[in-house]
Amino acid sequence: MRKRLIVSAAAGALALLLTVPASAAQIGPGAAGIGDPYYPNAGNGGYDVSHYDIRLKYQPATDELEGTATILATATQDLSRFNLDFVLGVKEVLVNGRTAKFASTGESELEITPARPLVKGAPVTVVVRYADKPGKVERGGYSAWLRTPDGGVAANEPEGSAWWFPSNDHPTDKATYDVSVLVPDGTQAISNGLLTGQSSRAGWTRYNWRQTKPQATYLATLAIGRFDIRTDTTPGGLPVVTAYSKDLGDNDGAARASVERTGELVDWLSGYFGEYPFGSIGGYVPNVPTGYALETQTQIFYSPAQFSRGSNTSVVVHELAHQWYGDSVSVQRWSDIWLNEGFARYSQWLWSEHENEGTAQELADYVYSSYPADNAFWSVKPGDPGADHQFSGAVYDRGAVAIQALRNTVGDEKFFQILKGWPAERKYGNATIQQFQAYAERISGKPLAQLFDTWLFTASKPAVSSAGVPAAAPAGAASLAPGGKGAPQEPKSWKKIQETNSLHEHTH
Ligand SMILES: [Zn+2]
């Protein structure tokens, strides 16, 4: 896709040379996508965003959302035109203070033509005014805005931001955020980071939220409804913000018994992953009918269904692990999703180990023996699952087996050094699986190409388990065949971990 765009842009430039001065010939439109093979239209080319200032007014009774987004960016090429990713109705666009032409095109592109072309390297301020009912705006029969009886929620992966603010919607363009939301008195608004102000006037209350650390667009979240918001600090002084819909019914106790352990669990994970990268942590449970949870940065989204069978600290561990593996260090391309989900799942295995409910090795053996070689589970390559299988079980479970295989290959000392060193190495950035492999090879001093190829990039069941036990054990030896003599017992934590599998359930 990227290659095709480069070719067509070159051809366009050549045609222009015939009619306009050479200096103007370089100016062209920015690409409609940032170049991600899984999602060709995700993100945009030609600029880099540093900050989003999102000012909203929302009426829960009617689902009417009005907004003004002020976007600070830098042009990375000369631009006659550029795109934002957005699906709501736009009323006005200004670029550097001047009225700009705009058009909604394709699935989710907002094409903006500034009054004057943008010069490479120059700062750009874009103001977009909009108003719509996000629950009514569908793409492919689907709206990413989760309507609730008392408001609405935006929390989705890999896309969701287009239903509440215009952006460069790809993890490689991170930015800081100010989100200010005006809602009727008695209703609360929640977003990422810290609540820096709250004021009421004439029946409406404004909530100001601030995220000062780089954040990918899909990790930005917004929830409006009637919430009980709690603030606290961990023993180490990290602010903790949690919120619960006042409408959780029978799930209320289990939700609080899980999410209120956030501070304890983030401290526990710091022991494995190193210093927590952000300025606050928390989570919220709105009254949505969905089943998944999502690692929205510092303010984790949990569906109440995650707590419908009682408390679940395992899902909290999973989403907290993402703050290092996914949020601070983000995918370079969506095909690198194993760097998020493999490690978040493995953190649940470490928690199981800590709780004496099965070791990571036992869980790896159980995954390995649970799926026969002809099961479709093994046809998904966790290292390049394809957009349709980005959130398949194999990315999580086989992905975590891959990590156990790495642990067995390099030994515990080097393994835990890698686990802790990687988030520091790539803090607030992006990375590919190949870069992780190179890092693991550097730290361990071992060649790992074959290991990565076997566990992440082969569409079949590896012939040896993570512990190096051959699948077809010689007669008389313990067999790892499912149900066979010596097949691993189901670890105690297994069911609870599987319950978290509707995390990131891709709804369209
Ligand atoms: Zn996850």
Residue 447 and residue 171: Cα distance in Å, rounded? 29
Q: How far is CA 366 from the centre of its chain?
A: 28
Residues 6+ apart with CB under 8 A from 383: 335, 338, 433, 452, 456, 457
Compute the distance from residue 295 Cα to the ligand 1 centre, in Å: 7
Compute the distance from residue 344 Cα to the ligand 1 centre, in Å: 6
Taking alpha carbons only, the member of 246, 242, 245, 274 closest to residue 258 is: 242
Taking alpha carbons only, the member of 73, 67, 56 closest to residue 92 is: 67
Residue 48 and residue 176: Cα distance in Å, rounded? 12
Residues 6+ apart with CB under 8 A from 217: 85, 161, 167, 168, 169, 170, 171, 173
Compute the distance from residue 165 Cα to the ligand 1 centre, in Å: 23
pLDDT at 40: 94
Residue 504 and residue 55: Cα distance in Å, rounded? 27
Compute the distance from residue 343 Cα to the ligand 1 centre, in Å: 9
Compute the distance from residue 504 Cα to the ligand 1 centre, in Å: 7
pLDDT at 20: 44
Taking alpha carbons only, the member of 480, 454, 353 closest to residue 398 is: 454
pLDDT at 470: 76
Compute the distance from residue 337 Cα to the ligand 1 centre, in Å: 9
Per-residue pLDDT of the chain (508 residues; tens, 9 = 90+): 222 222 233 333 444 444 444 455 579 999 999 999 999 999 999 999 999 999 999 999 999 999 999 999 999 999 999 999 999 999 999 999 999 999 999 999 999 999 999 999 999 999 999 999 999 999 989 999 999 999 999 999 998 999 999 999 999 999 999 999 999 999 999 999 999 999 999 999 999 999 999 999 999 999 999 999 999 999 889 999 999 999 999 999 999 999 999 999 999 999 999 999 999 999 999 999 999 999 999 999 999 999 999 999 999 999 999 999 999 999 999 999 999 999 999 999 999 999 999 999 999 999 999 999 999 999 999 999 999 999 999 999 999 999 999 999 999 999 999 999 999 999 999 999 999 999 999 999 999 999 999 999 999 999 988 888 777 654 444 445 544 556 789 999 999 998 887 644 444 3
Compute the distance from residue 191 Cα to the ligand 1 centre, in Å: 19
pTM of the entire predicted model:
0.92
Type and span of the H or E element at 145: strand 145-148
Residue 246 and residue 151: Cα distance in Å, rounded? 12
Compute the distance from residue 318 Cα to the ligand 1 centre, in Å: 6
pLDDT at 486: 66
User: What b/e readout covers 247-270, taking b as 16+ CB neighbours within 10 angstroms?
Assistant: bbeebbebbbebbbbbbebbbbbb
CB 228 within 8 Å of CB 247: no
Q: How far is CA 9 from the centre of its chain?
A: 31
Compute the distance from residue 479 Cα to the ligand 1 centre, in Å: 32
48 residue type, one letter? D
pLDDT at 12: 38
pLDDT at 384: 97
Residues 6+ apart with CB under 8 A from 389: 380, 395
Angle, alpha carbons 344-163-216 (nearest 5°): 40
Compute the distance from residue 416 Cα to the ligand 1 centre, in Å: 20
CB atoms within 10 A of CB 208: 17
DSSP letters for 176-205: EEEEEEEEETT-EEE-SSEEEEEEEETTEE
